Structure 1
Amino acid sequence: MTRSRRLAAIAGASYLFTHVTSVGAVLLYGPLLTDDSWLAAEGGSGAQVLGALLDVVLAAAVVATGATLLALLRRHAPAASAGYALLRTAEAATILVGAAAVLGVVALRGSGADGAGAALALRELYSAAFTVGPGLLVGVHTVLLAVTLGRLRAIPAWIPVLGVAGAVLVTVSNVAVLAGWQADTSTLRGLAAVPIFAWEIALALTLLIRGLRLGAPEQERQTAPASPRASW
């Protein structure tokens, strides 16, 4: 296996891993995200702590996708690949903020009226971090990567189109949440995330199965010596 195929496989596996960990974390958080009575009650919070740990692993996988694609694309699209890696790192930072907020909520659970306000504030911090990171930043870096891969013709043309469409939908949905037009947890918000979910799955499988189809960088093609003409 060549270096580029190995990097592509790592990137694809990292993408799939982000989906497993992100969905797992939300499922484990459960009532912490929506039920005020859960915050006031005493009891075990092991599932929520495990969810926060999954978010930490998710952040590492998000950084891995940016780093591997930077290594794959930096000769072909240096500015775009660096921008993508930086945006993925910023997304990972917001995920870690959310995980820390969840651990704070767990620590304050059942602490009475004195801790209830702080617990609610930390839950709102988690929601805000989720909206900014896996919400708005994802829309930006998805457009950047989809347009770059489409321009390079590195993957089938329908995948970048799906990515751009998904990015627009998820961005509009999260702006609606910030503006108060849509609830944090709603069916409409979930549906708006389906196309970008499909984009990442399609990209991940493409990276795993066939890798990126990248020719020589444009600069190298322009500076390559012309083929000598045959002498007769």
Structure 2
Amino acid sequence: MAEDQRLARIFGVLYLLTFITSIPALLLYEPALRHPEALAAGAGNVNKIYWGALLELLLILANIGTAVVIVPIMRRQFEVLSIGYVTARIIESTFILVGILAMLGLATLPQDTAGAAEATVAYTLAAIKDWTFILGPGWMVGWGNGLILGYMMYRTQLVPRPWPWLGLIGGPLIIISGTAVMFGGGHPSGSLQGLATIPEAVWELFLGVYCTIWGFRREAPILSEGARQGRRLVSPSAT
């Protein structure tokens, strides 16, 4: 039980780190994403991009960590889904990494290119970054953190039962809104995607705060001695 609660608190801290790294990174990127042509002309602050890239590299580590640390617990009841959650986090992080590379390419444009094509290349790199946000944090998250993790948390009762509904509702909202944006239903960083992200963001923030402070619910059947020893666990909701 003590080891499970240690993993729970690591899980919570890592989720809080995803907020601590992702939000400042977005703010640091914002000027370059709004006016990439200025950066291409050498008028922007490339150090902001480098700091943003560093924060997003830490975000990738935190993202994958949130999945890896709970595999030993979740696989007692959901062996396949727990691996699926890790996979979803890796795919999400791959999109983030592509976005980092696009921003670093944008930062080096003033030194590496010259001529009228700079602005076009800058806008292209900024667009790539926007789309990696839609496809990674804005679409894959709906499957991983929303549906898969929400379902596992609901069934295992590791957190209070009402809260996983935020993920189970927020996940499809992100998937639907991201798909709508993909087919021209809005801008990648527009209000549609922003509103659809709210339930999922609250769900993830809850996981960070709750698990960091209280750990997992000690009454959860998956934390029982029998479950830890590898006996087949049947969720009460399935009976």
Residue 74 (structure 1) aligns with? 75
1:220 and 2:231 matched: yes
Alpha carbon RMSD of aligned pairs, Å? Answer: 2.0
1:151 and 2:155 matched: yes
| Aligned residue runs from structure 1 range 96-135, under 5 A | 96-109=97-110, 111-135=114-138
What is the CA–CA distance in structure 2 between the aligned matches of 1:122 and 1:204, rounded to whole Å?
Answer: 32
Structure 1 residues 102 and 173: alpha-carbon distance in aligned structure 2, compared to 1, 3 A threshold: same
What is the CA–CA distance in structure 1 between the aligned matches of 2:10 and 2:96, rounded to whole Å?
Answer: 21
What is the CA–CA distance in structure 2 between the aligned matches of 1:112 and 1:45, rounded to whole Å?
Answer: 19
Structure showing greater relative contact order (alpha-carbon pairs closer than 8 Å, 6 or more residues apart): 2
Deviation, structure 1 residue 221: 5.3
Q: TM-score, normalised by structure 2?
A: 0.86
Deviation, structure 1 residue 220: 1.3
- Decide whether the 8 Å contact of 2:8 with 2:216 is kept in 1: yes
What is the CA–CA distance in structure 2 between the aligned matches of 1:129 and 1:156, rounded to whole Å?
Answer: 33
Structure 1 residues 31 and 112: alpha-carbon distance in aligned structure 2, compared to 1, 3 A threshold: farther
Where 1:154 maps in the other structure, the secondary structure is coil
What is the CA–CA distance in structure 2 between the aligned matches of 1:54 and 1:108, rounded to whole Å?
Answer: 21
- Decide whether the 8 Å contact of 2:37 with 2:119 is kept in 1: no
What is the CA–CA distance in structure 2 between the aligned matches of 1:42 and 1:208, rounded to whole Å?
Answer: 43
**What code does the residue aligned with 1:77 have?**
F
Question: Which consecutive unaligned segments of at least 5 residues does structure 1 have?
Answer: 223-232
- Decide whether the 8 Å contact of 2:76 with 2:232 is kept in 1: no
Residue 19 (structure 2) aligns with? 19
What is the CA–CA distance in structure 2 between the aligned matches of 1:189 and 1:221, rounded to whole Å?
Answer: 40
Where 2:209 maps in the other structure, the secondary structure is helix
Residue 229 (structure 1) aligns with? none
Residue 96 (structure 2) aligns with? 95
Deviation, structure 1 residue 112: 3.4
Identity %: 35
Q: Does 157-166 or 111-120 show the bigger shift?
A: 111-120
Q: Does 176-185 or 207-216 show the bigger shift?
A: 207-216
| Aligned residue runs from structure 1 range 144-223, under 5 A | 144-213=148-217, 214-215=220-221, 216-217=226-227, 220=231
What is the CA–CA distance in structure 2 between the aligned matches of 1:186 and 1:15, rounded to whole Å?
Answer: 24
Deviation, structure 1 residue 22: 0.7
Report Cα offsets for 1:79-132 as digits up to 9, x if no partner.
111110111111111111110110001111484313332222222221121111
Number of matched pairs: 222
What is the CA–CA distance in structure 1 between the aligned matches of 2:134 and 2:192, rounded to whole Å?
Answer: 15
Structure 1 residues 154 and 121: alpha-carbon distance in aligned structure 2, compared to 1, 3 A threshold: same
Question: Which consecutive unaligned segments of at least 5 residues does structure 2 have?
Answer: 234-239
- Decide whether the 8 Å contact of 1:66 with 1:89 is kept in 2: no
What is the CA–CA distance in structure 2 between the aligned matches of 1:177 and 1:201, rounded to whole Å?
Answer: 25
What is the CA–CA distance in structure 1 between the aligned matches of 2:93 and 2:72, rounded to whole Å?
Answer: 18
Q: Does 59-68 or 115-124 show the bigger shift?
A: 115-124
Where 1:105 maps in the other structure, the secondary structure is helix
What is the CA–CA distance in structure 2 between the aligned matches of 1:15 and 1:134, rounded to whole Å?
Answer: 13
**What code does the residue aligned with 1:131 have?**
I
From the CA coordinates, give the structure whose radius of gyration is larger.
Answer: 1
- Decide whether the 8 Å contact of 2:36 with 2:119 is kept in 1: no
Deviation, structure 1 residue 143: 0.4
